Amino acid sequence: MANFNLYVASCVLLLALSCRTATGHPLPSLRTEQCEQCSLLFKSLLLNITELLRGDVLCFGITSEKVVVRSKADTLLACAPSLTQNSNCMMPRNSSFSESECLRNIMKDLAYYEDAIKSYLKSPLRSSDEEVARLSPTLTIIKSLKNCSLMPNKDNDSSEEVAAQMWGSDTYSNREQMCKMMRGFHVRAITINRAMGYISSGDHRK
């Protein structure tokens, strides 16, 4: 499993290097009118998380640099571009790219992180006012994305219950876990932005 994860990570890196957008930067505006609103919202989400991690509230005093992706969605593989003749990496895909499957996994990610943040804000916090102020805009963007015309309806799952079990009574431990999780969300947001750029390009329909 470790070798497989390393393999996938290497593939994603090669694909990223072949993209015209720089690593970590939001994608350009999507080409279709239907996708424009979603594109702007996903840009906002990535920028919001980037600024959140740069601030001195959520990760204050956290020495660990660990990145944790807790969502169980298969966004990395589901949203990997179809292979082309110019591809230098063979992604382990059993079928052609499915736009609907990619979007469903993105929606699962959004639902999970929304539930995780909501449950975190109900747990003991080091600085309640500051943390609520910092994380509330993230929730607002996620809510808007869930209502975006491009996104499918949320599947019924137990992500809210699972997310609530992450938090205990120690504010430092809770904040450390949230800091690590938001770093993972940042990585996932970059992947999602690239996926949306691929969808909007229409290359998978050629």
106-134 mean pLDDT = 93
Long-range own/partner contacts, residues 6-14 (CB < 8 A, 24 or more apart): 7/92, 8/76, 8/77, 8/91, 8/92, 10/89, 11/80, 11/89, 11/90, 11/91, 12/76, 12/80, 12/191, 14/88, 14/89
Q: Which amino acid is at 54?
A: R
* The 3-state secondary structure of 155-197, one letter per residue: CCCCHHHHHHCCCCCCHHHHHHHHHHHHHHHHHHHHHHHHHHH
Q: What is the predicted pLDDT for the residue at 205? A: 58
Neighbours of 11 (CB within 10 A): 19
Tokens of 68: 């944790």
Distances (CA, A) of 141 to 49, 97, 126, 137, 201: 11, 27, 24, 6, 23
pTM of the model: 0.76
pLDDT digits over 4-41, tens only? 343 333 334 333 333 333 334 444 433 456 567 787 89
CA atoms within 13 A on the CB side of 192: 29
Question: All domains of the chain, ordered by start, with CATH?
Answer: 2-205 (1.20.1250.10)
Q: What is the predicted pLDDT for the residue at 150? A: 72
| CB-CB contact of 48 with 141 (8 Å) | yes
Neighbours of 99 (CB within 10 A): 16
